[in-house]
A and B are shown apart, each in its own frame.
Chain A
Amino acid sequence: MTAKRSRVGAAALGAALLPAAALAEGTLTISVYSFAQDEFQEIVYDPFMEICDCEIVVETGNSVERLAKIEANKDAPVIDMAVLSTHDALGAARKGLLAPIDVTSLKNHDKLYDIAKDPLGDNLGVGYTFYATSIVYRSDKVTVESWADLLSPELAGNVALPDVTTNQGPPALYMIGEAMGDADYSLSAPIEEVAAHADDIVTFYVRSSQLAQLMQQEEIWAAPVGRFAWASFKDNGLSMAWATPTEGQTGGMNVMVMTANNGNEDLATRFMDFWLSTEVQTKLAEALVDSPANAEVVVSDEIADNLTYGAETVASLKLLPPDVILDQRETWLDQWNSKVMK
């Protein structure tokens, strides 16, 4: 069961029994990733509930499950706001499931890094966190200076790559392509290259949490991973390093979205604004939950080391455009299945 109910109180019980619109005023239903919910409860949900005198009902799950639920309830929305990856959000927008956010009501909107202000266009989403994706590796075994090193003889049999179906997969493939001198969004060249080295790759991981154990067991020496997972590697007792490849780092961005016709837009907008505030974004950063999208957030060097932090870092990320991911996803998967998974 992936759905988690927060505050099983009268309002939450009512939400289950009555049409959403009937109690929209005092209840905000949000759809979020299941990751770090205890921290979100303490830093975001509980303080906001005190301010707004409302209840927050939290629905968690992976993107596909949550999107399916939003789509299934399109005519009578149950979810008021959701957080999604940029490409999933764009997919939802194209299906008419999202409404523009009234950014003039977001006091903290101006504080965001420019690329977070309107990543989908038409104010259909606001970026609230980023992550860099690079290569984590055993510095006592190998040196990684390029994305091409992942497929080098030195790492043969000791490397894991993200599956193409994960959020890390396509960006990592894109960077391998760039290292090969073929930065085409079709990803044909890097997929061919990975297929040619498929036997040298220990596994194509689907969850980054899997990697920490594989690294600890010395099953692998290197893998592309999101910066959010760095904390689980750096203190594992082994010589770990975060690569800064010559081609640069890739990554991803998550956005907040407003579901269309939810009838609870005001409360959802206030909640988004609260989440984007310098205070909340700082606390989330200090708890190593999310890297801040609010440019005014200041954290210590030690905290910053675990995050994707600072204007310079954010600007240098080579992010795949969400429309490219959305439009190419099926083609990538077909190529991957026919060549790598044959």
Chain B
Amino acid sequence: MFEDRRIGLALAMPAAIFAAALFLVPVCILLSEGFRNADGWSLTPYFDFFASGRNRVVMLRTLKLAALVAGVSAVIGYATAFAIVSLPPASRGRMFAMVTLPLMISPVARTYAWLVILGRTGFVNQILVGSGLMDTPLRLLFTETAVFIGLLQLFLPLMIISLVSAMENMPRDAVPAARVLGANWVQVFFKVILPLTREGLVVGGTLVFTGSMTAYITPAILGGSKVLMLETLLYQRVSVANDFASASVIAMILIVMAFSANVLLKRMATARTRR
């Protein structure tokens, strides 16, 4: 864009300095805590962290729930996004606004609402008991199910938004053409829609997976200390035990997982297209 490349660099410099000074440097300092012990540089904090069975359970639980939330939100997201882009423009705008509306409400308020809905005397149990499906109310709060529901509700809009914008960029006649040529809906999805919307899926998947992994409020309120996730464990290590080394290890794991998820999703999307 610029004839003189130096002008471009000069324009980018303030943002680069800002990011380096106020983000990269503090993050590096924090992460370096995980590579130190009383004697100097060491990997002991990492060995200690992975030696604990509880920590491994928490890490696997975090991975499992984040992957599950990303997977389920992709399924629901595709159906919703397809329905939205099939609507006339006026209705599409209204539907899109409804999808984005929850994002304008604080996650704390949304999560507290689940505390009421999923409680023993809450809406879900009233229906289950009232309809005769259950004799006694189910214990839903402080379970992985509660955390899953809370995270799904929290991040589903991000997946839908990503997929709607990806689908809007699809050629309008791609799906009808595939149908006319005899493809069933499963083939249409895997051979036409998925390859053409892979960027949206990668963006949405990364946002939902990373968001679920790093969410604090929802696992803290709906899971409590019985359903610890990496983020709630990190907070516990810092605020209760003043153990910055473990916290730094957890932060590093979260960063690595987020980058890995992004790379993996991109690879999966590319591999499917090449096939």
Residues of A within 8 A of B (CB): 62, 64-65, 67-68, 157, 163, 165, 198, 201-206, 213, 217-219, 333, 337-338, 341-342
Q: Mark B135-153, 1 if CB is under 8 A from A, else 0.
A: 0000101100000000000
Query: What chain B residues lie within 8 Å of A333 (beta carbons)?
Result: 241
Nearest residue in A to B141 (C-beta to C-beta)? A219
Bound-state Cα–Cα, A201 to B241, Å: 24
Measured CB to CB, the closest approach of chain A to B265, in angstroms, equals 32
Evaluate whether A218 and B240 lie within 8 angstroms (CB atoms) in the complex, with A203-B142, A203-B225 already known: no
User: Does B26 interact with chain A (Cβ within 8 Å)?
Assistant: no
CB of A204 within 8 A of CB of B119, answer no
Evaluate whether A65 and B239 lie within 8 angstroms (CB atoms) in the complex, with A213-B115, A217-B121, A217-B122 already known: yes
Evaluate whether A204 and B224 lie within 8 angstroms (CB atoms) in the complex, with A217-B121, A219-B120, A342-B54 already known: yes
Query: What chain B residues lie within 8 Å of A163 (beta carbons)?
Result: 225
Evaluate whether A218 and B54 lie within 8 angstroms (CB atoms) in the complex, with A157-B139, A204-B225 already known: no
User: Does B53 interact with chain A (Cβ within 8 Å)?
Assistant: yes
Bound-state Cα–Cα, A118 to B57, Å: 44
User: Does B270 interact with chain A (Cβ within 8 Å)?
Assistant: no
CB of B122 within 8 A of CB of A206, answer no
Nearest residue in B to A206 (C-beta to C-beta)? B225
CB of B224 within 8 A of CB of A205, answer yes
Q: Mark B235-275, 1 if CB is under 8 A from A, else 0.
A: 01011111000000000000000000000000000000000
Nearest residue in A to B119 (C-beta to C-beta)? A217
Measured CB to CB, the closest approach of chain A to B13, in angstroms, equals 30
Measured CB to CB, the closest approach of chain B to A273, in angstroms, equals 31
Nearest residue in B to A165 (C-beta to C-beta)? B240
Measured CB to CB, the closest approach of chain B to A206, in angstroms, equals 6
Evaluate whether A342 and B121 lie within 8 angstroms (CB atoms) in the complex, with A64-B239, A203-B226, A204-B225 already known: no
Measured CB to CB, the closest approach of chain A to B122, in angstroms, equals 7
* Supplied contacts A201-B226, A218-B119, 8 more A-B pairs, CB within 8 Å: A64-B241, A165-B240, A202-B141, A205-B225, A206-B225, A218-B120, A218-B121, A341-B226
Bound-state Cα–Cα, A218 to B116, Å: 11
CB of A202 within 8 A of CB of B139, answer yes
Query: What chain A residues lie within 8 Å of B120 (beta carbons)?
Result: 217-219
CB of A64 within 8 A of CB of B240, answer yes
Residues of B within 8 A of A (CB): 52-54, 57, 115-116, 119-122, 139, 141-142, 224-226, 228, 236, 238-242
Query: What chain B residues lie within 8 Å of A67 (beta carbons)?
Result: 242
Bound-state Cα–Cα, A165 to B238, Å: 12
Query: What chain A residues lie within 8 Å of B142 (beta carbons)?
Result: 202-203
Evaluate whether A341 and B139 lie within 8 angstroms (CB atoms) in the complex, with A217-B122, A218-B120, A218-B121 already known: no
Nearest residue in A to B136 (C-beta to C-beta)? A157
Query: What chain A residues lie within 8 Å of B139 (beta carbons)?
Result: 157, 202
Measured CB to CB, the closest approach of chain A to B154, in angstroms, equals 20
CB of B53 within 8 A of CB of A338, answer yes
Evaluate whether A342 and B141 lie within 8 angstroms (CB atoms) in the complex, with A62-B239, A333-B241 already known: no
User: Top 5 closest A-B pairs, CB basis?
Assistant: A203-B224, A217-B119, A165-B240, A203-B142, A204-B225
CB of A217 within 8 A of CB of B240, answer no
Question: What are 26 pairs between A and B in contact, CB < 8 Å?
Answer: A62-B239, A64-B238, A64-B240, A65-B239, A67-B242, A157-B139, A163-B225, A165-B241, A198-B226, A201-B226, A202-B141, A202-B142, A203-B224, A203-B226, A204-B224, A204-B225, A206-B224, A213-B115, A217-B116, A217-B119, A217-B121, A218-B121, A337-B52, A337-B54, A338-B53, A341-B225
Measured CB to CB, the closest approach of chain A to B250, in angstroms, equals 14
CB of B54 within 8 A of CB of A341, answer yes
Query: What chain B residues lie within 8 Å of A342 (beta carbons)?
Result: 53-54, 57
Query: What chain B residues lie within 8 Å of A218 (beta carbons)?
Result: 119-121
Evaluate whether A64 and B242 lie within 8 angstroms (CB atoms) in the complex, with A217-B116, A217-B120 already known: yes
Nearest residue in A to B139 (C-beta to C-beta)? A157
Bound-state Cα–Cα, A213 to B236, Å: 22
Query: What chain A residues lie within 8 Å of B57 (beta carbons)?
Result: 342
Measured CB to CB, the closest approach of chain A to B254, in angstroms, equals 20
Measured CB to CB, the closest approach of chain A to B225, in angstroms, equals 4
Bound-state Cα–Cα, A302 to B239, Å: 36
Bound-state Cα–Cα, A202 to B120, Å: 11
Query: What chain A residues lie within 8 Å of B226 (beta carbons)?
Result: 198, 201, 203-204, 341
Measured CB to CB, the closest approach of chain A to B135, in angstroms, equals 14
Query: What chain A residues lie within 8 Å of B116 (beta carbons)?
Result: 217
Evaluate whether A68 and B242 lie within 8 angstroms (CB atoms) in the complex, with A203-B226, A219-B141 already known: yes
Bound-state Cα–Cα, A204 to B142, Å: 10
Query: What chain A residues lie within 8 Å of B121 (beta carbons)?
Result: 217-218
- Residue of B57, B238, B242 ringed by the most chain A CB atoms within 10 A: B242
Measured CB to CB, the closest approach of chain B to A63, in angstroms, equals 9
Bound-state Cα–Cα, A337 to B142, Å: 17
Query: What chain B residues lie within 8 Å of A201 (beta carbons)?
Result: 226
Nearest residue in B to A162 (C-beta to C-beta)? B225
Bound-state Cα–Cα, A198 to B225, Å: 12
Query: What chain B residues lie within 8 Å of A205 (beta carbons)?
Result: 224-225
